[in-house]
Amino acid sequence: MTSVEDLCTLISGQITWGRGQSPQQLTPDTMLLEMGLLDSLAIMQIVTALNSQAGIVLPDTEIVAANFRSPAALWKLIESLPAGATQ
Amino acid sequence: MTRLDALLSTAAKLYPERPALAAEGRTWTYAELEQLVEELSWQLSAAGIRTGDRIGVYAGKGSSAVMAIYAGLRAGAVVAPMDVADPPARTARMVHNAGLSVLLTVDRSLGACREAAELATEGVDLGSGELDCGLNWVRTIAEADRPEALPAPTDQGGYILFTSGSTGWPKGVLLSHENVAHYALWAAEEFGLTERDRIGSQAALTFDLTTFDLYSAASAGACAVLMPDVLRAFPRDVVNWLNDNQITAFMAVPSLYHNMLLQGGFAESVPPTLRVAAFGGEAFAPRHLERYLELLGDVPFYNLYGPTETNACTYYRMPADWTAEQELTIGRGIGGVTIEVLDEDGRPTDGEGEIVVGGPTVFQGYLERGVLRDPTALVAFRDGSVQRAYFSGDIGRITADGLVYLRGRRDSQVKRRGHRIDLLDVESAVLELPGVATAAVVAKQGEHSGQFWAYVQTGSTEAEVLTALGAALPKRMLPDRVVVLPSLPTTTSGKVDRRALGGEFPAAPTTTSTEEIPV
């Protein structure tokens, strides 16, 4: 996980695309919540995938809407985490 | 008969300067809300909406949606809150099933609304226009083709809440003003609501929980505080929101309570203003419930039960010293509502049977393909009365003093090698395992039909769960598969989505967690 584009790919893989809904290309500014792309399961799957695929541990206190509104917002959080948070 | 929109006009007379609605960072007093709703209802009449017409409110949770619902009711319409996250084809199906003549929508959902309307009218533009409060109307049935009026009392307006039918296609549950108001007035009185209360409204307006938020609030002059839709999936945001908004009364599904406890930090920030809370809609994990009772202390915590077809129809105020080892009752019928348990021959029984509900909250029937179908039947209750009653499909028993114990769904029982197994028994055993946050045990459809699987939110592995279960259950009751998930999927009403779990879920195995565990 070295860039916001990598993060977009990871998020895209966790979205359950609805029937008749074609998987869209996520950009850093895609409004994930406003567009209704993330449900509670997808959010927890992203948290899990960040840990298992990139060794990034999000503290519970950071799993809030403000950090998941777009890939860019989540990337900003990841970059701000103290070095010890990644393994 | 109490009209829902009359609750608003009465509150505007009694409490004109009290806050009625708080949303999007601002507040409307009862006098302001009443004036906006009255003006909007005239605009609806001018747009061709007549008494008895059925209309949809296609808008996310917000002040505009609430105003549209009230204005529709004031105009004499039967109002159906709708979900903007539904695909347009599903919305179009709902328009057909419920016979909705017009959709009201907010500016930001207008595009999707037009798309659904076009599907419903097969491309014919039947007209549209702008209204106050950021609203628009889009006609979906030509005035000349208006469906036949519904039978009384819903010829004078009412409410439609959609539930997923057994086919997965939405059925419209038709409720009269009185069906909803009876429950709303009862709840306001039981919870002792006053004009000083601030009701935290977290659920979608399509969900029956919110009739309390809006109409119990109006009947007491209390304020309905709307939580933005985007916060619902973030338990920590919900806990902060309850605190920031000084919520005094709150109703939610157990899934949300579970997550507020496990991920939301509820234990460290119990809202100090909270003075009454309630849950309903699905089972509460006993250990979490016990923890809430400790945390809430003197704050009354209510268990409410009721299918959408009857509103909440039983209630139980949890004793503060209840512990997870005790059986949990759904309580007794709310004022004026009678609960009965019938055996397979349709006679009242002291043993297990189907829970049936009679009284003023029982709905009018289902709207399917624009036609009303009333599934209720006359039932002889043990008190000697004969009442129109709804068969809930839930299995339970009733004690001599009227307390009802829920056993499960009629369809939660499966047969395996001649043994009848209640999936809720298996689920209870899973929930009791150490380290299990929450779980659902469901019968699988399709490819794995005949099997039942346990979906578990836990830090343990599938093998560990299965080994632990093996020590707790007879072999015939062990699930065919255990799937560990980071969180269980939920429906738009926030309950665990058992239909999704029973289907092809998970659609594509993404981790090793879906590997088959041999039993």
Residues B258-276 have a mean pLDDT of: 96
The percent of chain B in helix, strand and coil, each rounded to the nearest 5, is 35, 30, 40
Alpha-helical regions (H) of A1-87: 4-14, 40-54, 65-68, 71-80
Q: Is B181 exposed, middle or buried (0-12, 13-18, 19+ CB in 10 A)?
A: buried
Question: CA-CA distances (angstroms) from residue A70 to A27, A30, A31, A86, B487?
Answer: 9, 5, 5, 21, 21
Give the chain A residue whose CA is nearest to the CA of B487: A41
Partner-chain contact B265 A61, CB within 8 Å: yes
So what's the pLDDT on residue B508?
38
CA nearest to B491 within chain A: A39
pLDDT, one tens digit per residue, over B51-73 is 999 999 999 999 999 999 999 99
pLDDT at B423: 86
**What is residue B518's predicted lDDT score, i.e. its pLDDT?**
43
Partner-chain residue, chosen from A34, A39, A52, that has the shortest CB–CB distance to B490: A39
Q: Which residue has the higher pLDDT, B485 or B190?
A: B190
Q: Tell which of B487, B492, B497, B505 to mutate to test the A interface (max A CBs under 10 Å).
A: B487
Predicted confidence at residue B165, as pLDDT, reads: 55
3-class secondary-structure state, position A53 = helix
**Same topology for domains B4-177 and B233-408, yes or no?**
yes
Q: ipTM value, please give it.
A: 0.89
Q: What is the rounded distance in angstroms from the CA atom of residue B278 to the CA atom of residue B202?
A: 12
Chain B interface test: which of A12, A19, A40, A62 (most B C-beta within 10 Å)? A40
CB contact under 8 A, A60 and B265: yes
Domain boundaries, chain A: 4-13+27-85
Q: What's the gap in Å between the CA of A3 and the closest CA on chain B?
A: 22
Residue A18 pLDDT class (50, 70, 90 cuts): low
Q: Which fold has domain B233-408?
A: Rossmann fold (3.40.50)
C-alpha to C-alpha distance for B422 and B409, rounded to whole angstroms:
9
Q: Would you state the pLDDT for residue B514?
A: 38
Fold classification of B4-177 is Rossmann fold (3.40.50)
Per-residue pLDDT tens for B358-413? 999 999 999 988 889 999 999 999 999 999 999 999 999 999 999 999 987 777 77
Separation CA B6–CA B1 (nearest Å):
10
Superfamily of domain B417-514: ANL, C-terminal domain (3.30.300.30)
In angstroms, the separation between the Cα of residue B238 and the nearest Cα of chain A is 9
Task: For the domain made up of A4-13+27-85, give the CATH fold.
Answer: 1.10.1200
Three-class SS of residue B442?
strand
Q: pLDDT confidence of A17, banded at 50, 70, 90?
A: low
Residue-range domain boundaries for chain B: 4-177, 233-408, 417-514
Buried-exposed string B66-75: b where 16+ CB fall within 10 A, e elsewhere: bbbbbbbbbb
